[in-house]
Amino acid sequence: MEGQTVVLALAAAAAIAIPALATAWAQSRIGPAIAASMAEKPELSTTAILMIAIPETMVILGFVIAVLILFRGGGAA
């Protein structure tokens, strides 16, 4: 039972850690590009917000999966 809890915890951690790294990588590429675009065209600010917020979907869904693993798997219940 303890082994199962450890596996569940590791799975939940991976479910959030991997998308978090992916989000960070995506935002690190988008951020400078959109900042450079905004320097030339300030009217792109709305697009900038969207571009920065879009990769966050990955980590948010990762978080949801992590919660489901912990709760449905009985790890945190």
Near another protein by CB under 8 A: residue from 7, 13, 35, 53: 53
Distance CA 71, CA 63 (A): 12
Amino acid identity at 48: A
Per-residue contact string for residues 3-42; x = within reach of another protein by CB under 8 A: ----------------------------------------
Nearest to 17 by CA among 62, 61, 53, 76: 62
Contact 55, 23 (CB under 8 A): yes
Q: Identify the residue whose tokens are 């905004």.
A: 38
Binds another protein by CB under 8 A, chosen from 50, 55, 69, 75: 50
Of 14 and 67, CB closest to another protein = 67
Per CB under 8 A, residues contacting another protein are 45-46, 49-50, 52-54, 56-57, 60-61, 63-64, 67-68, 71
